[in-house]
Structure 1
Amino acid sequence: MDVKTLQQKLKTGDIAPLYLILGEETALQETARSLFAHLLTADEKTMNYAHLDMTTATVGDLLGEATAMPFLGERRVVVATQPEFLTGNAGKDQLKEDIDGLTAYFAHPSESTTLVIAAPYPKLDERRKIVKQLRKNAVLIDAQQVPAGAVGAQVAEQIRTAGYQIEEDALNLFLRKSDASYSRMVTQLPKLYLGSLPDKIISLPLVRDLVPNTLTDNVFSVTDALAQQHVGEAVRVYQELLANQEEPLRLNALLVSQFRLLVQTKILSRKGLSQMAIAKELSVHPYRVKLALRSVHSLSLTTLIACFTELIHNEVLFKSQQPDPMLLFLRVVHHLSVPAGKSVG
């Protein structure tokens, strides 16, 4: 069940006694948890709502909250976050009798309690008896990461549902500045809504001014400048990143990732694949492919591979020595010097 379906069911009073929210998408986890919190009035929450962080609470604490009777109300809502005891990671030591007790509770959950297990992980340890019992009786809420190719459409739909509009160019820039992260984009929406008043149209200048650049976006500026052979601009931005105390190894890793995309895009485009087909093949957002296609247009595959190989070599040097990061970066730039008259393919 997705979060939207959960909202509809809770609104109509279709409430189960046991839920599992599973997945790493922070925004979906938070939205789902907030829906359960709103099942109770402000007065009811005082005595009948409990939130346990399982990195500090015990399974015994959780079992006690789940089995307690509602006080001056019809229902208790208990939310347990970070349940590492359900994963392969041992986490906080838990008593076996408490684990057995919670397993038995999962088999027969109390009808007067809505117990929500919020697990921000890609998966649980399916070998464990407690996980099998939870899976058997809990309503599963999907909070897995939104695929990069679907992020734009989902965010645009959320904006429309809220009564706002976003221009296509603004959405594309929003995706780039947020590294196509659904959760990152959702956290930026409130200020974009406020900034778009009174016409409720989110424009390109608004996104440019209000959405901060991520490190990935800053490194993209370096990659894009290199691809356009604007060497001075690329060097300037890279120097600024170093001056801002960004870790050279991390910068190099991001450059490796972006040049890998350029190489892959160049190869697939030469095979005749369209922008959408390349995006599907590489599991990235189509807008990233659009930018990559623009970047690789004037560069040969040989040049791209040479830059990529140099960056891989730099990674080895960063891990084994303490080289001058600017010198290594300039060695990458050197490969972009295409001899006059040579075909760039």
Structure 2
Amino acid sequence: MNYLQAKKELKQGKVSPVYFIYGTQAFLIEDFTQHLLNQVIGQDGSDMNVITYTFSETPIELAVQEAETMPFLGTNKVVIVKDFHAVTSQKTDSKIEHDLDVLTQYIENPSPESTLVLVAPYEKLDERKRVTKRLKKEATVIEAMPFDDRMMKQWIEEQATTKGIQITKEASERLVERLGFDLLMLAGELEKMALYVGEEEITVDVVELLVARTLEQDVFALIDFAVKKRLDEALVIYHDLLKQKEDPLKLLALLARQFRIYYQVKGLSKQAYSQKQIATQLKLHPYVVKLASAKVNQFNERTLLTFLEACADTDYAIKSGKIDKVLALELLLMKMTQKTETK
């Protein structure tokens, strides 16, 4: 079950006795946990009925024992076990011994007065382990993984609805263009825009006015202006970044990274790889591959290799003291505007 489905069930009052949450998106884990607490304990509920353990510090038997204990002055309690690495193959320095049989017995017959939440903030699970298999069979499993495009749109709409506002499709797309899939930043910007528009809807103009571009988006713009031979606009962005105390060497590294991604995406696309397959192959977020796929037709592979070599030469010239780094990047941008072959 994905995060959005789990949130929907919570809103419908469907609470499971055991949740197993795994994945790398800390924001989703924290957000779901908070909604669960509000649903089970209530915003005015006793903190004594929310007990949190860390798996590397506390035997799992104590967490199970707590879940089996009656709530204090209430009808429900939530027991949270963080960093539940028993479902992974990673090695740890913890000297705590756990009786996982106690846990597997509990999840087969959980207490109706408690909700046990096991949090594993990892991308991959060890499917061979008995506890992993048992949790996947008996518990409500929630994947806190990076969103694809469809889930991102749903999430933004849900966030807007929660704040009592609406956001246009175009505004939602522009927001993702500016911030990418950083959920914490997106949530913060949505909160800011909601306060600004009041009961009105969020439009593209509102996004343009209130949401600043990220550094990565500025690098995208630098490349776009340069390859379109709009040097003046590229230099304006570059000098704005210098005023923001961005190091030219850092900008150079980001430019080189972007050209490398373009080159790899173009090559794999020629081999008929799908965007999802490319993302897996290059270990990139699917959205990064989507953006790159929309841009690679501006270049042929020879041009991309030329730009990568120019970035390497510029890096060497700066680090060997042959040229000032601010001037070096200006010259690189000028070189990029001189010739761009497309195919």
Q: TM-score, normalised by structure 1?
A: 0.76
Equivalence for 1:177? 178
Runs of 4 or more above 6 Å deviation: 264-269, 320-323
CA distance in 2, matches of 1:122, 1:29: 13
CA distance in 2, matches of 1:151, 1:219: 26
CA distance in 2, matches of 1:91, 1:279: 35
Shift of 1:11: 4.5
Q: Describe how 1:223-302 pairs up with structure 2 within 5 A.
A: 223-241=223-241, 244-246=244-246, 250-263=250-263, 284-285=286-287, 288=291, 292=295, 297=298, 301-302=301-302
Asked if residue 83 in structure 1 is aligned to residue 84 in structure 2, the reply is: yes
Moved more, 72-81 or 40-49: 40-49
CA distance in 2, matches of 1:99, 1:92: 18
Query: Which ranges of structure 2 fall in alignment gaps of 5 or more residues?
Result: 280-285
Shift of 1:264: 6.3
Shift of 1:307: 0.8
Mapped contact 2:79–2:115 kept (Cα < 8 A):
yes
Equivalence for 1:46? 47
Identity among equivalent pairs (%) = 27
CA distance in 2, matches of 1:194, 1:84: 40
Mapped contact 1:152–1:171 kept (Cα < 8 A):
no
Asked if residue 215 in structure 1 is aligned to residue 218 in structure 2, the reply is: no
Q: Describe how 1:52-63 pairs up with structure 2 within 5 A.
A: 52-54=53-55, 59=60, 62-63=63-64
Superposition RMSD on alpha carbons, in Å? Answer: 4.0
Equivalence for 1:158? 158
Q: C-alpha offsets along residues 69-106 of structure 1, whole Å, 9 cap, x if unaligned?
A: 22233322112233345433434514224555445444
Aligned residues: 332
CA distance in 1, matches of 2:10, 2:155: 23
Equivalence for 2:110? 109
Mapped contact 2:229–2:338 kept (Cα < 8 A):
no
Residue 118 of structure 1 aligns to a residue in which SS?
strand
Mapped contact 1:56–1:92 kept (Cα < 8 A):
no
Equivalence for 2:194? 193
Mapped contact 2:88–2:125 kept (Cα < 8 A):
yes
128 and 248 in structure 1: CA distance in 2 versus 1, 3 angstrom threshold: farther
CA distance in 1, matches of 2:248, 2:52: 40
Asked if residue 126 in structure 1 is aligned to residue 117 in structure 2, the reply is: no
343 and 173 in structure 1: CA distance in 2 versus 1, 3 angstrom threshold: closer
Mapped contact 1:53–1:80 kept (Cα < 8 A):
yes
Shift of 1:20: 0.7
Residue 121 of structure 1 aligns to a residue in which SS?
coil
Q: Describe how 1:90-105 pairs up with structure 2 within 5 A.
A: 90-91=91-92, 93-99=94-100, 101-105=102-106
Q: C-alpha offsets along residues 8-57 of structure 1, whole Å, 9 cap, x if unaligned?
A: 43455543221111222334323321221021134543331223355665
CA distance in 1, matches of 2:66, 2:249: 46
Equivalence for 1:32? 32
Residue type of the partner of 2:66?
Answer: E
CA distance in 2, matches of 1:16, 1:155: 22
Shift of 1:249: 5.6
Mapped contact 1:17–1:114 kept (Cα < 8 A):
yes
128 and 253 in structure 1: CA distance in 2 versus 1, 3 angstrom threshold: farther
CA distance in 2, matches of 1:151, 1:257: 27
Q: C-alpha offsets along residues 129-165 of structure 1, whole Å, 9 cap, x if unaligned?
A: 4333333321101221102x33553245326644533
CA distance in 2, matches of 1:238, 1:52: 48
4 and 156 in structure 1: CA distance in 2 versus 1, 3 angstrom threshold: closer
